[in-house]
Amino acid sequence: MTRFPRVLITGGSSGIGRALALALATPAATLHLSGRNATRLEATAQACRARGADVRTAVLDVRDAGAMAAWIESVGPLDLVVANADVSAGAGGNLIEPPAQIRAILATNVDGMLNTVLPAIAVMAAQPRGADGIAGRIAVIASIAGLVAVPGSAAYCAAKAAVDAWTVATAPAARAQGIVLTSVCPGYIRTAMTAENRFPMPGLMDADRAARIILRAVAAGRVRVAFPWWMAAAARLAALLPPRLLAALTAGRQGKPPDPTL
């Protein structure tokens, strides 16, 4: 039997969310999956059902705090919640991103995370604890991009830095309530999101491999997992550089283009 029989994942229609759903899909599992694209979400659900899982879907926008709280409170007891939904875009170089895009990235990646995690904490805090003292686990998908402020990706870096810092700082208080919080900081994962990147992506990893790393870290009770480790170390070192030097080293970098749909 899977260690996480009752799971809720936002952004479950593609990328890391889909890979996690497939990794957790067994006849013993009940998966609650949300996403904004009904077609892609149903495709993921069908793939998980083919593996024997009971799958319930909800077409939701994580920015809608009321709808998110109502959904999470309605699904019943949960062993694992993954706050995965996010969006990504850049300035296409050393430019200022469009104001609407900046606000959309912060609203989805930060507010959307809180709209998932805060109701999940409330639900899990009311659940009985297991023999290990744990009532539930929550994984928050941050990024190695949150460990260093890279020009051209300001909003995304800022959002992921906030997500990681909040999760790590909140983890001790959550643990006192029997809830394990894990900040997940992956590097480049082969998904539709990274397909738009216009620069080399060292350490590019398949989503199914990333899912295995994430689930091992969550099961082990890690407060933060950053991978590949060498890329996380490089980001930490780069963050120690004077801002002008970091900007000079990244000058001319062709980053991800703006997204006019945000």
Q: Where are the beta strands (DSSP E) in 153-241?
A: 179-186, 189-190, 205-206, 224-227
pLDDT of residue 85: 96
Reading the block at residue 46, the tokens are 């069908």
* Percent of the chain with pLDDT strictly greater than 90: 81
pLDDT at 1 over 50: no
CATH number of 6-249: 3.40.50.720
> Are 254 and 93 within 8 A, CB to CB?
yes
3-state secondary structure of 138: strand
Identified catalytic residue from 135, 137, 139, 156: 156
pLDDT at 256 over 90: no
Give the CA radius of gyration of the chain.
18
Q: Where are the beta strands (DSSP E) in 22-126?
A: 30-35, 54-59, 80-83
Q: Which pTM does this prediction carry?
A: 0.93
pLDDT at 96 over 50: yes
> Are 75 and 25 within 8 A, CB to CB?
no
Residue 156 annotated to the active site: yes
Closest by CA position to 68, among listed 102, 35, 97: 35
Residues in the chain: 262
Q: Please, which contacts does 206-209 make with residues 24 or more away whose CB atoms are closer than 8 Å?
A: 207/15, 207/16, 207/18, 207/19, 208/19, 208/22, 208/23
Reading the block at residue 196, the tokens are 């738009």
Q: What is the mean pLDDT of the chain?
A: 93
Reading the block at residue 81, the tokens are 């919640």
* Percent of the chain with pLDDT strictly greater than 70: 97
pLDDT band at 104 (very low <50, low <70, confident <90, very high): very high
pLDDT at 2 over 70: no
pLDDT at 193 over 80: no
Domain boundaries of the chain, sorted by first residue: 6-249
pLDDT band at 36 (very low <50, low <70, confident <90, very high): very high
Before 228, cis peptide (omega within 30)?
yes
